[in-house]
Amino acid sequence: MSLLERLPHTVSHLRKTYSRDEYIGNTTDTEELATSQRCWIQTVSQQEVQQYEKMDQLITHKVYYKTQPTLRPGDLIRVTAGPSYVGKDFNFESLADASAGLGKLFKVMVNEENNIAATFTG
């Protein structure tokens, strides 16, 4: 069985929604877009970080899917099961095609939610 048939992580896709409370303050909620999405999460290389910094995108990880996810910038990817990253949220940054052997994967570049390092760059 190939990796394409058995991706190790399971995630949910969430979209942030914004509204006002009774005191006219801003509130942020999340709307669930999809659950039980199979994927493979990896950390990015320093070369990839530098490449995406040129496009003003901060990335920490890449996520591979068998089918193209319906995500847009600002959406969250929450890891629900797998060998690592369980409970972590990642912010969607951009989509890039990738191939693996004879198969095709869709690569999503993400930034770990609450990434402290992102605050102190530059």
**Domain 3-113 architecture:** Beta Barrel (2.40)
Taking only the tens place, the pLDDT of each residue in 27-45 is 888 899 999 999 999 999 9
DSSP 3-state of 53: helix
Model confidence band, residue 91 (pLDDT cutoffs 50, 70, 90): very high
Q: How many CB atoms neighbour CB 37 within 10 A?
A: 19
Write down the domain spans for the chain.
3-113
Question: The whole model's pTM is what?
Answer: 0.81
How many residues make up the chain in this entry? 122
In the numeric block, which tokens belong to residue 11? 């995630």
Question: In one letter, which amino acid is 18?
Answer: Y
Residue in this structure with the two tokens 């909620």, named with its chain if needed: 29
In angstroms, the Cα distances linking 12 to 49, 89, 96, 122 are: 24, 10, 20, 32
